[in-house]
Structure 1
Amino acid sequence: FANADSTGGGPVPLTPIAEGQCQTYAPSGWTVVETNPNGTFFRTASADQSMQAAYVGMGMHGDLNIPGLANFQTTPPNVMLQQVIGAISNAAVNVTADGETFGGYTVMRFTSGNYSGYALYYRASQMPDFTLPDGGQSAYILIARIAFGANGDNRSVATAGSVAAAIRCTAIVIPHPIGGDTDRSSSHGAGTSAKCSGGGSCDDSDLAGTYNAQLGTGWVHDSLGRNYNVDVTADYNDNGPDGPGYYASVGGTQEKLQPGLQ
């Protein structure tokens, strides 16, 4: 993907949305449309359903029942991921690229029905501290963040990607090397959480946000702790009153926003 199409509309306020063991930050109108009580699946969508974001933490084991797949323990993670994408989009999945790596993630780009997007996924071996809800034994665990945008609209893909990257669920213990492997300086620091960009520990969400910032959409926050999406190119002001950066009106004045998701 190229950088998201620029509109120059300025920072877009984000709202926290949560259900069960998962939460994320999204523009106005996004809602949770599907989740489970175990915190291993979480899906949100824009009001018109033209954009969606999902998080998956699936244990591949013999008790799964997914039509068309007989041996889940030996099915490659990219094949399983295509099944998940197709179930969400309710359409056939065309993988346009697969195999690029970004830190611990593998990147899959796809089109499906009215959507185009990407998934960041990781195949984790069975971990001792991961217990499947039904007690089954997993051959491996598939961890993925999936962004669905309107077909051909790179800006909407990047917006969905920011929502997918911000999803955090408490049920999954993220293994190395997904967590901690990220570039704090990417896109003016707008690709990570404030903790990560400030020199603290980084996790898999920060890595996903750093990848998405390269597509054109990043995170910033103001002095009141409110988060925003920014177009990392169009919204960056090289000649701001307090120096180069992203700006928004806070309390009637133009405030230079700080990098990262608060």
Structure 2
Amino acid sequence: MSTTDSTSSVGSSVLAQLQASSTAASTPASTTGTTALGKDAFLQLLVTQMKNQNPLDPQDNTTFVSQLAQFSSVESLQNLNTSVSSITSSVASSQALQASALVGRSVIAQSSTAIVDPTKGLTGSVAVTGSSTDNTVSIYNSSGSLVRTLDLGASAPGSQSFTWDGNDDSGAAVTAGTYTFKASSAINGTATDMLTYLPATVNSVTMATTSGGDMTLNLAGQGSVALSKVQSIGI
């Protein structure tokens, strides 16, 4: 009496199904159903393998446990992908709502230029990086001429605010327009350029083109700046 080894035939059948699924996955899905090898197909192949074991040489429990663990991993990854897609959609909706609320608002961001209305003046700040014995802010008009120098005195490291009343050094009101601000601090006896943070109005918002990207604010008189670089948002 001869014993037929069913494992080889089953293995060939399983391999054929895997190859067929792999080939189908590389082509567009048909309108009659899915062609990808998902968790359901994986489970069917596992059950078929269990039903057709060679009684003279059955597979041990370790093999089945390992395959079940693989099945569980596939299912978990599919669920995770679904959850991540849902979260990404929610974040995009939240960003769109946030963007619409920012248009027309006043923000303070790192910049060296600002649009100034002399009847209202301007309030900004200087990021002083070290103990300074003298801090100044020089203000230039659009033609590059110095119109005002603000003496802020000595300060410790940190943010030092300043206010410009919109007048030049002679006390006359300047014309409305775009002005450039250059801050300098005397640190250890050396004049060092410092960053200035100036107010601006949000004209529009550009949404991120990639998942997890940052929104870009388009500011009047300052150009574009990432939302993450905005120091504060006002009314």
**TM, length-normalised to structure 1:** 0.21
Q: Which has the larger radius of gyration?
A: 2
**TM, length-normalised to structure 2:** 0.22
